Amino acid sequence: MSIRRLNTPPVVVLTGVENSGKTALTEALVKSLGWAHLPEAARTDPKVIQGRVNKGDLARLLDAQTEALSALKTTNVQGIICDTGPLVLDRWCNSVFGCSLEKATDAQQDVDLYLLCHTLPDWEADPLRSLPDFEDRLAHQNGYADQLKSNDLPWQEVPVGPLPERLEFALDLIARHCPLP
């Protein structure tokens, strides 16, 4: 894992396969740190909810996410916690359409730390989720780790555990990799 400092304020992105507790951990981190929150754009997108996503929709979501992050950076915040990010959209595009999402690689570089959340063994059904099999989720999780490594992105893994333990673990990682001035 490479460590670099790109942003003031620092940007931390929670990433990983569905059913890994990203949203719950994001909300706990935002509350604990008092940092700005950039929610998952896909969760409320009408095309995603309808299950009618095409490559152009993923590009639109990436653009919206990039613009929202840029706008947050211009405000007076100590840091930014993102519930997913360009890596998730790029992996989605690769998985469904067999190609990378244009501009995703550049957008992935504008992050101080990725926290790769391990998938939870117990399946929690959600209309937007499609991988109930634990082994399938583990395979996708390994794909995330491979992409983080191959793109030389700064990242750490957040293991499975109760939310309070995951929160403390993630807070420690953020403190070590994104120290505030």
pLDDT band of 113, cuts 50, 70, 90: very high
Q: What is the pLDDT of residues 81-104, one digit of tens each?
A: 999 889 888 988 888 899 899 999
Only one residue has tokens 């063994």, namely 121
Find the CATH number of the domain harbouring 51.
3.40.50.300
Strand ranges in the chain using DSSP code E only, listed in sequence order? 11-15, 36-38, 80-83, 113-117, 155-158
3-state helix, strand, coil in the chain (%, to 5): 50, 10, 40
Asked if residue 98 is part of any domain, the answer here is yes
Residue 8 has pLDDT above 60, yes or no: yes
Asked if residue 1 is part of any domain, the answer here is no
Residue 65 has pLDDT above 80, yes or no: yes
pLDDT band of 121, cuts 50, 70, 90: confident
- Output phi, psi for 82, to 5 deg: -110, 130
Contacts for 41 with CB less than 8 Å, ≥ 6 apart: 61, 64, 65, 68, 84
Residue 138, domain extent: 11-177
Asked if residue 5 is part of any domain, the answer here is no
Taking residues 136-160, what's their average pLDDT?
A: 91
Taking residues 132-160, what's their average pLDDT?
A: 89
Q: How many domains does the chain have?
A: 1
pLDDT for res 167:
97
Asked if residue 87 is part of any domain, the answer here is yes
**How high does pLDDT run on average in the chain?**
87
pLDDT band of 36, cuts 50, 70, 90: very high
Higher pLDDT: 3 or 39? It is: 39
Asked if residue 171 is part of any domain, the answer here is yes
Q: What is the pLDDT of residues 9-25, one digit of tens each?
A: 999 999 988 788 899 99
Query: The tokens of 10 are what?
Result: 């620092």
Asked if residue 34 is part of any domain, the answer here is yes
pTM of the model: 0.90
